[in-house]
Amino acid sequence: MDAAARRVATTTDAFFLASPGRAGGRRFCLLNAPADPRGTIVYVHPFAEEMNKSRRMAALQARAFAAAGHAVLQVDLFGCGDSSGDFGDAAWDDWIDDVQLASDWLVARFGSTPLLWGLRAGCLVALAAAERAGEPRTALFWQPAASGKTVLQQFLRLRTAAERLAGTSGGGVEDLRDRLAAGETIDVAGYRIAPELAAGLEAARLEPSSAVDRLAWLEIASGDHPALTPAGARAVDNWRAAGVEVDADAVSGPAFWQTTEIEVAPALIDASVRALGSARLAA
């Protein structure tokens, strides 16, 4: 039977979840699900503007997962998208709380522990949430960021680049990091980033952990013969050496999380559905 024949009817529901965490407020959620899902998934979006660039891909993938029989909950983290709060008031722990909130809701609704699906820096948040939960989880990492320090550094460079273009004499990245460490909130490319968020992000590492026992690692590459980046290949080897079952692959497509126009990567959607259907990742 082909993939199209296995597709099932699904529904899409938008709603808010009240957060009992430190930040409080409500989190916007979007649920794509069949009537009787055989597994559940929480999507953890990437950092800052990458979230907006990726919305289309996340929506398409969530629908594809639902059509393949899984309930998918997309949640806007505190201060992001349509959720309560301002990005500049977010702390790293707030985002970890939000992933746990989404996971708990899926467990209560469907009775199964969800797979954690992260994109870029969302992989770091997903891993931190798995470690806090204290039980092994299955994960799907899309173009994972190896460290939050690198994510933060690249983000701060947006400000220094803008200052150079404007001919202003702002400090460099290290100066901005020092200001964050001293307790100052920094404005970067239309986003305010607070010291608490910067500190948590900078400390985050995507290293092998007992909190993940099964993992699909997928990357986007250009050309007709896509391959994992050298850094990605080393990371996959490290996870396997730590005893984690890893399915790794690279597919052709655009870097949709950073392109000027909104783009999609159909090959990544197909590869993700295949990975979810494998013996190692199926719920």
For residue 81, is it within any domain?
yes
Summarize pLDDT for 96-148 with one digit per residue, the tens: 999 999 999 999 999 999 999 999 999 999 999 999 998 899 999 999 999 99
Give the confidence band of 222 by pLDDT, cuts at 50, 70, 90.
Answer: confident
Give the per-residue pLDDT at 76.
98
Does residue 283 lie in a domain region? no
pLDDT, averaged across the chain: 93
Same domain, 181 and 130: no
Phi, psi of 141 (to 5 degrees): -110, 125
In a domain, 19, yes or no: yes
How many residues can be counted in the chain?
A: 283
pTM, two decimal places: 0.94
CATH of the domain at 46: 3.40.50.1820
State whether 155 and 231 are in the same domain: no
* Cα three-residue angle 254-260-262, rounded to 5 degrees: 65
The answer to whether 92 and 199 are in contact (CB under 8 A) is yes
Question: Do 82 and 183 have their domain in common?
Answer: no
